[in-house]
């Protein structure tokens, strides 16, 4: 699938957030619960985008979640032992965005995505992440980043709440989801 997977995924992800707005806002500061709900959003968006089964990770097999593959939060695969289609890190700790980025850049899926939160201005976060991505010039990674201090106020604001960022080596592109 070409790079338009990100636009399709982002649209499906935003739609899931809109439909589950009240639940997500209620869980905003509950990291384990937030991770579970956002993992469900990733699973829904992945199925809509890739038409494959998804393994959504959290510790052990509880509440319908299977164990992590390669210690990555979400792995989309087609059931073969080939490369994963997509690997996703769900980072609810703004101080860990760099680590999640590095971890995904060391893996070899077809596509990579970090969904996370920031406390610093977006340009400052992107500058920090670019220090890592430039060390992996042949690899691309996508980000959906939102402001940690406030969730979207209404369901229809989710499409503009996350900033999309695409990085390949030193090349960085920012855009909204809408």
How many CA atoms are closer than 13 Å to the CA of 128, on its beta-carbon side?
A: 16
pLDDT reported for residue 52: 62
CB neighbour list of residue 170: distance below 8 Å, 6 or more residues apart: 130, 133, 134, 137
User: Bridge-partner residues for 90, per DSSP?
Assistant: 115
CB atoms within 10 A of CB 144: 23
Task: Please write the tens of the pLDDT for every residue from 128-156.
Answer: 999 999 999 999 999 988 887 777 777 67
Domain boundaries, the chain: 5-176
**Continuous segment of H or E residues that includes residue 167:** strand 163-168
Q: Starting from the edge strand earliest in sequence, which strands make up the sheet with 54-56, in order?
A: 54-56, 74-76, 86-91, 111-118, 140-147, 163-168, 171-176
CA distance 145 to 163: 5
CB neighbour list of residue 107: distance below 8 Å, 6 or more residues apart: 70, 72, 84, 87
**pLDDT exceeds cutoff 70 at 164:** yes
Query: Given the structure tokens 């959504």, which residue do they identify?
Result: 56
Task: Please write the tens of the pLDDT for every residue from 68-113.
Answer: 567 888 888 877 788 889 999 988 787 899 999 999 999 999 999 9
CA distance 75 to 141: 15
pLDDT reported for residue 116: 86
Task: Please write the tens of the pLDDT for every residue from 10-34.
Answer: 888 888 888 888 887 787 777 777 7
Q: CA-CA-CA-CA torsion for 3, 92, 53, 159, nearest 10 degrees? A: -50
């Amino acid at each position: 699938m070409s790079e338009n997977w990100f636009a399709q995924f982002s649209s499906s992800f935003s739609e899931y957030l809109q439909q589950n707005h009240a639940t997500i806002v209620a869980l905003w500061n509950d990291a384990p619960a937030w991770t579970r709900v956002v993992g469900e959003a990733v699973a829904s968006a992945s199925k809509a985008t890739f038409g494959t089964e998804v393994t959504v990770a959290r510790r052990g097999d509880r509440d319908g979640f299977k164990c992590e593959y390669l210690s990555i939060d979400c792995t989309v695969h087609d059931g073969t032992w080939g490369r994963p289609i997509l690997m996703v890190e769900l980072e609810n700790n703004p101080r860990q965005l760099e680590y999640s980025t590095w971890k995904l850049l060391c893996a070899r899926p077809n596509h990579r995505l970090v969904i996370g939160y920031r406390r610093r201005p977006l340009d400052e976060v992107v500058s920090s992440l670019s220090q890592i991505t430039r060390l992996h010039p042949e690899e691309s990674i996508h980000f959906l980043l939102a402001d940690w201090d406030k969730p979207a106020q209404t369901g229809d604001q989710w499409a503009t709440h996350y900033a999309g960022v695409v990085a390949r080596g030193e090349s960085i592109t920012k855009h909204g989801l809408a």
